[in-house]
Structure 1
């Protein structure tokens, strides 16, 4: 457990459980761009590690550091009064006027997620040549390391973010007795002050009390600051080394000189105390909290800190293992970015890279989703910009949901809980939004964006395009995660507590529907970010009978009914919901054989549009399937065929899952390879630069720019290819690619509380064991047969 050694230019693991080749990202030079750097995180505190030899840059984030204050006002009073006018315009088929009028039903934008700052380590000994450089991230242990020789002497830097001790740990180590000479400094793009003393840098600062998105042009100042408002933070960076080796400078810097080893501990706390608490008047005692964290961490040795971190992390990560085959040795010895580029440019088989990408998704979820009430955001945890793309917020027309598609199936149910808590917050603020913006008195809703303050209003400030700003179904979609969590855990206590949130979302859906031509449908509605073309050539967004609205309404109502039945409650509500379901406008198949997205069989402005929201009933929903709705499943397949395979990162991740649900192994794998397409760092301007959707050198998802949802969507897609489940059945290898004809997986989860271990050869299951968390019955389909099994709680049965 002592890190790694450099031998003949290669980093070699000291113990067998560290540095496994198929669980390690490897590079042979420092990172120049964010998209090359390595990310670590403990679920709240995170770092982006560049691994420089002259200057090492470690950018820091805290998941609770946002602009803003509690969201307690309605930006657009009486917005709901516009709804009848919009409906009347739609009844007259006046889509241009409806688009214009729908802007009246828009409120403020979300706040911005903020970077904490950057720790810079400037090395003073730069004369000697650097050789044998290696930079790695071992996701099997959640540890990172930079190793190289300077003047022939080994120098290593180890990094990890500890959840048990709430600190980031950095260890500098040199073979030379006096090999470490460096200056440490901290800077932040936020208003702050920093001082040094007692071998530590102490910094305090605050975020803006209000901000606007980078794309909003209605104001000159995007951030409004006041030292008496907004979320405050305190960061302590402590150096542990012989006293004579550390000096404090009046400038706020620390100097480390003439030692062979130095330990750097980073702790942070913010005043955020909940979505409804003023972070100044009702904020946490962040100064005391960070001091306590640092004191407790300082009481441990490096080895003790590392052992507790690894043990904590592995209790989650080690639940699942995946073997898709061995990569050819001449490819396996390449760095990760070289492998990714080769994988993109050739038809080379690289099953270890494909499995690594899957496990990397699990690593990222563990690292970014362990803060109660604060789920992983658009970039997970890692953001370096005070005006990040799309505010680095929670975009709920796909992106936040996709972040959690892999939580249950890959045995990381605990990482799903921050989202459950967050839904609870949204259900409270969303009640006011339902009334004030939509005139619906029952239930709650959520629009296109939200933030740490659980804002739920539609965004746009009456200037946003309705295609994205006026979407209403975020609450319906997010609430389906409640039933998903229960389906996998069978946790009745959780369901009892969360059921009112799911029911409230369903009640809004029913209150939002109108009757037209004998059917219930939404009016007004949109299909996220997509636009239709009317016969007279108008390109619009606002319509009635949006297929995606109705798909989400169906899924939400079905889940709410199931939850009420599981709890044995709300007979009247169940009856009402079932009656509503029976009267919803049915799906239709368009003239091109596609699943019709618009009420009328209109053309799309962009037939290859990245969003495929009307397919949500196929995945992640469950009411469309090749078994139960074969005609509609074929229409879904035709829709995907029309859209093609060139799209953004998160959309590619979604399409992997959609093809898997269609049991289309060929296309599921083809799209998975598309997801792993090499994309250059955003700032790289060379002639060989590559843009578009795919994967950056550090394996983060390229939307582009960076959005983490594609990582999670791709991770979930691997499980969908290997196993699918319903409340009654588990299907093994439903979309197994020919390229994965031999392999094994352990620890993946099925609905009903079952955990599956299996191995397969030549596409047939040859070993199978099933564990039941709560006890129960299910059917398992594999090798052309269907088997019924019954297990007791805690029982594991070997079936093959």
Structure 2
């Protein structure tokens, strides 16, 4: 054959191979050509309790370690301000007289301590003896098996590192290999920002320390907080090395490996935390013994076995859902470059899927500890003074973390939050009485922490009521219980745990409501989370009465508690009370601009484009405002969103995408989803033209800014919301499908009623739909104006074809 033809044929085959195997972007792999310099470039691993943040440096590799139970503080004294409630009548009187300035000042008297702070456990460092320039550097996080990998070459030797954090074995494992025998030479050390000591015993590297016991007032940790002895949560990190060859030696506080070819590092962490109401110093778990037990068990197993059980455990959750959004022509680029290209308006459907998959990955990795849900940063915090204490902010952020739990088929991860709500109800009973003068039920406020703190914050009168004084977290959180029931149909859970918590939240709301001049029920005092009104005389304040957000959450709380009592056929007298109160709630008002009023009166917003949109709660995450049931309120909600605009913080973008999805505006939802994925520079990076604002950091973390994980979770939840919406009786298919996703498929999206959906669509119409039922039941499938009733037995599947 002609050599020229051979060359051409080979070239065509090469191009075909490249197009098939290289050009398509991955839906499951984040990858980079350089190590992480900043936290917002690092790759995170976790098993729901232990977290690892991998930087992947060449000469020095840094891995930040976290344990989700390591917080400052001790069990909260819920009775910290026993007579605070005595100020409520005076606040109500001032509001009745329309003296908002006085009400604002008096509201500060109904405050308690601030939350405690999520603490960084420590940093593992691997320092290589060989110092040089690496070539062919590659770093990845594979969401399909929850492992991270680094490879590079130096002086002709290829080095590989593999990292994962196992849930079955409760350890982190790092595998290091070199292509040439004896080329691994490095030191391993541990250090912590907290008070700690490092030692080596029998070639086991050990770090012991204690978290501070004081609240993080003003979000800064003074040095004195680290000096108090014999109190606070203890922590232990144990590290042991397994090698196939080479030498292992130790110094007083480090391990050294020389001339090895393959090395395994096993890391185990534990704390003395033993419950929100147990003193971690005097009633705590033996953290040293627990860390040693987990390390010893894992260390005796072959690496392959530990990895295999880790992947199997993880994939039983991750593999439930599969999403495809059609053909993509996006080139194969590192994830940071890919984000930059996407920010320029280019198409990358698999990046949109990657972000969705990353959200599910993060929830599996950060939410598997009962009573300790994912916090503001999920599980991953390297800072002694993390932003907003990395606490539980319950006026949106904690709840947004769990919007994807049920509909993206991760119901088990919801248990961390549901069990935390049970803890809140204990301290919340005292808070209801002492701060609000309500003797029935339980209340929770703006912030909480691992100790299930429920009091309104503000350092006893030092901080602004616009965020410190807000008692509606119990009402909001109680709706998560109903969500869990409607998706799982777990009546046993609803009866034993769920309903009593829902009832307690509703009881508080009943006791907190007062009658307005028209005979309607309102809240007084009221605030609309973190927002302020502006009066005609120029006064700017937050304290008022009859807040739309309050009443939306109470509506939802009452409605779901009524439904729960009917399901369980219980509590008819209490149900009757709720039904009567629900009918008397002050109705929604539409303002002069056509917007849904946030305030009792049609006042101006101090910031018309404010990030919070709490008064739209009834549209999402609630469901009592819909385009069909309440078209006027849906239209007013739309007007509100238009006035606010699309430019906002990361978590707020996540919420607004869900709101647009509920308004069945797929293209507007998609526009904002693209903006959520807008590239943002790491916080500490200095550039001539920095990219700041709400969006996505190079490692796909949500930029509030700074990093908050809620935007990741809210954005992922919104993708499912665009594809499937449901209530107890109906499942609506492709209700907010954007033009950009005209063809695709989804498998494993869950719907209320205990159903699961598998479907493919083209030309924006479903072609084949398979509905399966977890426990049996009936529903109505809807697409556009087409409806099909479906009745299934437990475990049964049915294929539905739409014309």
When normalised by structure 2's length, the TM-score is: 0.95
Do the aligned partners of residues 512 and 221 (structure 1) sit closer, same or farther apart at CA in structure 2, a change above 3 Å counting?
farther
Aligned to 2:483: 484
Aligned to 1:5: none
Deviation per residue, 1:534-564 (Å, 9 max, x gap): 1111000000010000000000111111111
Tell me, what secondary structure is at the counterpart of 1:777?
Answer: strand
Aligned to 1:80: 85
Query: Does the CA contact (< 8 Å) of 1:214 and 1:222 recur in 2?
Result: no
The structural deviation recorded for 1:242 is 4.4
Query: Does the CA contact (< 8 Å) of 2:25 and 2:350 recur in 1?
Result: no
Tell me, what secondary structure is at the counterpart of 1:595?
Answer: coil
Aligned to 1:182: 186
Q: Distance in 2 between matches of 1:106 and 1:221?
A: 26
Aligned pair partner of 1:349 in 337, 347, 350: 347
Aligned to 1:394: 392
Do the aligned partners of residues 222 and 523 (structure 1) sit closer, same or farther apart at CA in structure 2, a change above 3 Å counting?
farther
Aligned to 2:9: none
Q: Distance in 1 between matches of 2:138 and 2:237?
A: 29
Aligned to 2:234: 232
Is 1:210 the equivalent of 2:253?
no
Query: Does the CA contact (< 8 Å) of 2:194 and 2:226 recur in 1?
Result: no
Deviation per residue, 1:174-232 (Å, 9 max, x gap): 0010111001110000111111233321111000111324447xx96572543311100
The structural deviation recorded for 1:126 is 1.5
Aligned pair partner of 1:145 in 141, 144, 149: 149
Aligned to 1:681: 682
Query: Does the CA contact (< 8 Å) of 2:219 and 2:389 recur in 1?
Result: no
Aligned to 1:162: 166
Aligned to 1:4: none
Deviation per residue, 1:128-151 (Å, 9 max, x gap): x41111100000110000011112
Tell me, what secondary structure is at the counterpart of 1:322?
Answer: strand
Q: Distance in 1 between matches of 2:186 and 2:219?
A: 40
The structural deviation recorded for 1:529 is 0.3
Query: Does the CA contact (< 8 Å) of 2:393 and 2:448 recur in 1?
Result: yes
Q: How many residues align?
A: 777
Aligned to 2:568: 567
Query: Does the CA contact (< 8 Å) of 1:105 and 1:458 recur in 2?
Result: yes
Query: Unmatched 5+ residue regions in structure 2?
Result: 1-16
Aligned to 1:503: 503
The structural deviation recorded for 1:326 is 3.2
Aligned to 1:515: 515
Deviation per residue, 1:674-716 (Å, 9 max, x gap): 1001000000011131111000000000000000000000000
Aligned to 2:642: 641
The aligned runs of 1:93-492 (5 Å cut-off) are 93-127=98-132, 129-215=133-219, 223=225, 225-242=227-244, 244-250=246-252, 252-328=253-329, 331-345=330-344, 347-461=345-459, 462-492=461-491
Aligned to 2:537: 536
Tell me, what secondary structure is at the counterpart of 1:211?
Answer: coil
Query: Does the CA contact (< 8 Å) of 1:61 and 1:383 recur in 2?
Result: yes
Query: Does the CA contact (< 8 Å) of 1:211 and 1:222 recur in 2?
Result: no
The aligned runs of 1:704-715 (5 Å cut-off) are 704-715=705-716
Q: Distance in 2 between matches of 1:77 and 1:766?
A: 62
Q: Distance in 2 between matches of 1:384 and 1:126?
A: 26
Q: Distance in 2 between matches of 1:418 and 1:531?
A: 33
The aligned runs of 1:768-779 (5 Å cut-off) are 768-779=769-780
Do the aligned partners of residues 100 and 221 (structure 1) sit closer, same or farther apart at CA in structure 2, a change above 3 Å counting?
farther
Q: Distance in 1 between matches of 2:114 and 2:317?
A: 36
The structural deviation recorded for 1:288 is 1.1
Aligned to 1:64: 69
Tell me, what secondary structure is at the counterpart of 1:760?
Answer: strand
Query: Does the CA contact (< 8 Å) of 2:152 and 2:160 recur in 1?
Result: yes
Q: Distance in 2 between matches of 1:46 and 1:359?
A: 19
Aligned to 2:56: 51
Do the aligned partners of residues 326 and 154 (structure 1) sit closer, same or farther apart at CA in structure 2, a change above 3 Å counting?
farther
The structural deviation recorded for 1:244 is 4.9
Deviation per residue, 1:631-666 (Å, 9 max, x gap): 000000000000001000000000000000000111
Tell me, what secondary structure is at the counterpart of 2:151?
Answer: strand
Query: Unmatched 5+ residue regions in structure 1?
Result: 1-11
The structural deviation recorded for 1:332 is 3.3
Q: Distance in 1 between matches of 2:691 and 2:245?
A: 49
Aligned to 1:691: 692
Detail structure 1 runs of 4+ shifted over 3 Å in the superposition: 213-216, 219-222
Query: Does the CA contact (< 8 Å) of 1:781 and 1:787 recur in 2?
Result: yes
Aligned to 1:657: 658
Q: Distance in 1 between matches of 2:664 and 2:97?
A: 42
Deviates more, 1:219-228 or 1:314-323: 219-228
Aligned to 1:794: 795
Do the aligned partners of residues 221 and 74 (structure 1) sit closer, same or farther apart at CA in structure 2, a change above 3 Å counting?
farther
Query: Does the CA contact (< 8 Å) of 1:213 and 1:387 recur in 2?
Result: no
Tell me, what secondary structure is at the counterpart of 2:493?
Answer: helix
Tell me, what secondary structure is at the counterpart of 2:298?
Answer: helix
Deviation per residue, 1:550-589 (Å, 9 max, x gap): 0000001111111111111000110000000000000000
Aligned to 1:557: 558
Deviation per residue, 1:497-526 (Å, 9 max, x gap): 221111000010110000012100000000
Deviation per residue, 1:95-122 (Å, 9 max, x gap): 0110000000000000000000000000
Query: Does the CA contact (< 8 Å) of 1:748 and 1:756 recur in 2?
Result: yes
Aligned to 1:493: 492
Aligned to 1:6: none
Q: Distance in 2 between matches of 1:730 and 1:212?
A: 45
Q: Distance in 2 between matches of 1:131 and 1:445?
A: 57
Q: Distance in 2 between matches of 1:243 and 1:154?
A: 17
Query: Does the CA contact (< 8 Å) of 2:219 and 2:385 recur in 1?
Result: no
Do the aligned partners of residues 249 and 214 (structure 1) sit closer, same or farther apart at CA in structure 2, a change above 3 Å counting?
farther
Tell me, what secondary structure is at the counterpart of 1:588?
Answer: coil
The structural deviation recorded for 1:152 is 2.2
Q: Distance in 2 between matches of 1:333 and 1:719?
A: 26
Aligned to 1:39: 44
Tell me, what secondary structure is at the counterpart of 1:22?
Answer: coil
The structural deviation recorded for 1:769 is 0.2
Aligned to 2:8: none
Tell me, what secondary structure is at the counterpart of 1:590?
Answer: coil
